Amino acid sequence: MPILERPYGQHAKGDLKIMEEVTSVVSPGARQASWPIKIVSHVTLNVYIVVAVLIGPQGTTPLEIGDPVQAVNLGERFDIEGELDVRTYAIMFKTQDKNYFYSPPWGANWPWQWS
């Protein structure tokens, strides 16, 4: 049975590393507080330049939209240089005037990196 058709809780441990879930709570009249992003460049430490992306049909490369912005990666230490590849995709959140995302430096074999 394909992984997406399995009932919740019946995934093999090896499958869980590709199953990521992000939840956003949106109230009536609120604006979107999170969106998919692609890392464009590294600034310093755990700070990156990112751009929003539009996720299209399965098998297509996400389309970059909007202007690049600066965001902090909470998945890396704050006192050493970040290691994320510029092709990494993540979910960015905005709180007041701060942009942040969580993406640990998994390495070149992590499924969310595109060649």
pLDDT tens for 45-81 read: 999 999 999 999 998 999 999 999 999 999 888 888 8
Domain ranges of the chain: 33-106
Average pLDDT over residues 88-105: 89
Residue 15 φ then ψ, to 5° = -80, -25
> Quick one: which of 68, 76, 61, 78 has its CA closest to 99?
68
Global pTM? 0.65
102: pLDDT strictly greater than 80: yes
